[in-house]
Amino acid sequence: MSEINMATMGYQRFNVISAIFFVCFTFYAQTGSSKEIPINLETVGSSWVTALDNNLTIHMQNAPLFTVINSYFQSDSNSGITTDLRYEVVDSQKLVKKMSLELAEMLNRKKLALTRLVEVAEDAAANYTWDGTLTKDTDVIYYNSKDLTILKPLLGKGGKRFEDKDINATISSVHIPVEIYEGDIDILNGLKWSEKLDAVFKENYENDSEILWQYFGSQTGFMRTFPASLWGTPSDAVDLYDVRRRPWYTQGSSSPKDMLILIDRSGSVHGQSLQLIKVAVKSILDTLGENDFVKIVQFSKTAENVSCFDKFVQANYRNKMILSKAVDKLVAKEMANFQVGLTKAFDDFDELDRGNFSARCNRMIMLLTDGGTDSAEAVYKERNWSREESKQIRVFTYAVDSITSKERRKQTDNGKVRGVKMAGHEVGFQKYQQWGLSEQEFR
């Protein structure tokens, strides 16, 4: 009954907020025009207040509780409603303390359930012996959440707890991304050792009636879900889900970070290369969560911000969508100047240090390019090595091109590859032997 009441109250609050937002938005829309329109604020304000009052009254009267309270207070009401409604003085401190204790108890139960899963997972992974001979359906038994033929007959109604969805509370189901082969040896080994989690899933499910879905995400890409259920992908859509890109996975597997994505948009980055860069940038954005801060800079002869954001912004859904749309508009032009690009990147991090909003943890520059003729090693030495070790910025380079890696290595000058020093290690100017190529292969 409390769940129904809470849902009703939430709906009422939403209506109230919606009404207020509508009034505020209407005011902005009418006064935001550049053309001056004479407005009698007293008259308009009075009509808005009346409209708001009527709107709130209509919404509130839809609730039975409002009718009860209203009739209780109206002495001349002959509604005939009888109620044992009573009022008493509430000790606010005791009430808050009681709520905090109940909340702490609830969170502690969830913490213990999670701790049990972590301990069993770590123990199972540490004591498992990797087997390169495993085969699908013979050595590894699991239930594919997209396999209607095998899984659907095993499911039954989950009752009110799961809103009557079809589940099986004795096993877990497995989701594997479409781009990963189900028979991959790493997937099979991961499924083999992680099957021990089912017992803990079931124990948590039985011990705490408030626990609903439990998940385990693997770095190889598969995800276990308990209770087992069918994967809901519309028939006209492609299943692009990958647990490694979900916020709860990325935030749990990595520390908060300040990331600057530096894009080479010079004339050589055109056609397919530019499209690959755009896809790569969006993939990087997908890995960021709300604990991360991000900024995107494009460079050729000059360096400019991508999108309207001139500072690092929180990597929430809205901001990532704005950045993603801005990346789609990138156009290749002019010559690449890596010194200009990296200088701009370090300037932005210096500005970030003077502000208050950042992850204050890991910092990195993601450089996407098809290569270049100049070296920005001097800029890197001057702007990064001079920093305290704890504040140094890591640089990750992405070589994006339509030709293969071996072909690119053969095109380098005298077997050398241009680059920069990062994290105190030499990356550039490496001999071709260090790429693992023999002299015959290089020629």
**pLDDT the model gives residue 328:** 93
Instruction: For residue 318, name the pLDDT band (cuts at 50, 70, 90).
Output: very high
pLDDT of residue 185 exceeding 60, the answer is: yes
Q: Give the integer Cα–Cα distance in Å for 215 and 294.
A: 28
pLDDT of residue 158 exceeding 80, the answer is: yes
Determine the topology of domain 247-442 in CATH.
Rossmann fold (3.40.50)
Looking up tokens 């935030």 gives 251
**pLDDT the model gives residue 271:** 85
**pLDDT the model gives residue 62:** 61
Instruction: For residue 247, name the pLDDT band (cuts at 50, 70, 90).
Output: confident
71 by Cβ neighbours in 10 Å (0-12 / 13-18 / 19+) ranks as: middle
* CATH 3.40.50.410 in the chain, residue ranges: 247-442
**What's the rounded mean pLDDT across residues 86-108?**
86
Which carries the bigger pLDDT value, residue 51 or residue 30? 51
pLDDT of residue 153 exceeding 90, the answer is: yes
**pLDDT the model gives residue 262:** 94
**pLDDT the model gives residue 233:** 75
pLDDT of residue 413 exceeding 50, the answer is: no
**Cβ neighbours of residue 116 closer than 8 Å, sequence gap 6 or more:** 200, 203, 204
Backbone angles phi, psi at 226, to 5 degrees: -125, 135
Instruction: For residue 91, name the pLDDT band (cuts at 50, 70, 90).
Output: confident
Instruction: For residue 432, name the pLDDT band (cuts at 50, 70, 90).
Output: very low
pLDDT of residue 33 exceeding 90, the answer is: no
**What's the rounded mean pLDDT across residues 39-44?**
52
Instruction: For residue 7, name the pLDDT band (cuts at 50, 70, 90).
Output: very low
Instruction: For residue 79, name the pLDDT band (cuts at 50, 70, 90).
Output: low
**What's the rounded mean pLDDT across residues 242-265?**
87
- 268-289 pLDDT, tens per residue? 888 888 999 999 999 899 888 8
CB 393 within 8 A of CB 349: yes
Q: Give the integer Cα–Cα distance in Å for 316 and 357.
A: 14
Q: Supply angle C-alpha 414, 417, 423, rounded to 5.
A: 150
Instruction: For residue 59, name the pLDDT band (cuts at 50, 70, 90).
Output: low
Q: Residue 210: which of 305, 103, 326, 292 has the closest Cα? A: 103
**What's the rounded mean pLDDT across residues 119-125?**
94
pLDDT of residue 412 exceeding 70, the answer is: no
User: Per the omega criterion (within 30 degrees of 0), is the bond before 227 cis?
Assistant: yes
Q: Residue 414: which of 428, 427, 431 has the closest Cα? A: 431
**pLDDT the model gives residue 80:** 57
**What's the rounded mean pLDDT across residues 420-442?**
36
CB 323 within 8 A of CB 294: yes
- 347-397 pLDDT, tens per residue? 999 898 887 778 888 899 999 988 766 677 888 888 888 888 878 899 998
Instruction: For residue 202, name the pLDDT band (cuts at 50, 70, 90).
Output: very high
**pLDDT the model gives residue 357:** 79
**pLDDT the model gives residue 5:** 32
